[in-house]
Amino acid sequence: MKKYIFELNHPKHYYQFKYIMQILQQQGNEILVLARDKDVLLKVLEEENIPYTIFGKHHKSMSAKILGTFSLIKNYLSIAHRYNPDIIVSKGSWYGTFTAKLLRRKSVIFIDSEVVTINNKFVVPICTKVITPQSFKLNYGPRHIRIPGIFEDCYLAPTVFQPDPSIVPNYNLRQPYAILRFVGWEANHDVGRFGFTLQQKENLVKVLSQHLTVYISSEKPLPPHLDKYRLPTPAALIHHVLSAATLYVGDSQTMSAEAALLGTPAIRSNSFVGPNDMSNFVMLQNQHQLLINIADPDEAIRQAEILASAPQKEQWMQRRQQYYTKIGDINNQIVQILSNL
């Protein structure tokens, strides 16, 4: 029996580790979920009835982030010292790996973004193991373990996710519909990056509304004329909603991959797209035709109108089936890695 800390800083982190934690607990291991008060993470954990301990809050400004680091580390160390874990698991957290190093414990990080330089400079050198998708472009040497597919497969593979058909009628979602996702661009790795402007968001809604019902998920507050399109479902149901959608368009990284893996025609547009784009998004487009990456938001809007006027849901679902026939379920592979440390 081992004791694990799973550090969560984003709803995606919970979904990625959800079934891994369940398998480990079924095997008799002990789990402590450490969560940061950020976005809708705590709401998702509460909706899913997951016990958690808060180790700090998310700060938006860079100065607040720097000042808050000391408090986060202090809280983290205090909690970890009392719990005494064998292994600390995170998406790529400096807090978790640093704490594990100080306490002489093992740490495992999961990285799928080559552009997050803080991981390369400060986190990878002090972790025990780093797990990445097979397509990841960087090489971290002996501590590097590669797995097939991408991390979103941990919670979206057909073996673990079955869409609930009651969600659409229960929340009066009008089909066929499009989901639009706009992020806040306030994360450390988003500095200098951007997605759709307000004018482009308005144009996108106007164009798609001619063909589909439009629902918006947005990290930032929306002006009243767009807020009326806000998605009415709880955050924890987003994957069921995405699965039933006819089209997805957004500047989000995570939700773009999620929509693609659920077999929903998906368009991703932001300033990351280009020659140095992250390998997981390139792989989904070039190898599996499950995602369309477009750097120019106006061109993304034009392509979105084409897909809205001639839906391709059936073709995307066939591609999804082919993808998972090849990739399979990676949760047990990850559990095996963690168990053997």
Express each pLDDT in 121-171 by its tens digit.
Answer: 889 999 999 999 999 999 999 999 999 999 999 999 999 999 999 999 999
Is there a shared CATH topology between the 3-147 domain and the 167-326 domain? yes
For the chain, give every domain's residue range: 3-147, 167-326
pLDDT at 209 over 50: yes
- Domain 167-326 CATH assignment equals 3.40.50.2000: yes
One-letter amino acid for residue 3 of the chain: K
Closest CA to 143 of 119, 127, 154, 159: 127
CATH number of this structure's domain 3-147: 3.40.50.2000
Q: What is the pLDDT of residues 48-86, one digit of tens each?
A: 899 999 997 764 544 445 556 778 889 999 999 999 999
pLDDT attached to residue 37: 84
- Could you say which DSSP state residue 4 is in? E
CB-CB contact of 148 with 330 (8 Å): yes
pLDDT at 192 over 60: no
| Residue 108: strand pairing partners | 89, 129
pTM for this predicted structure: 0.89
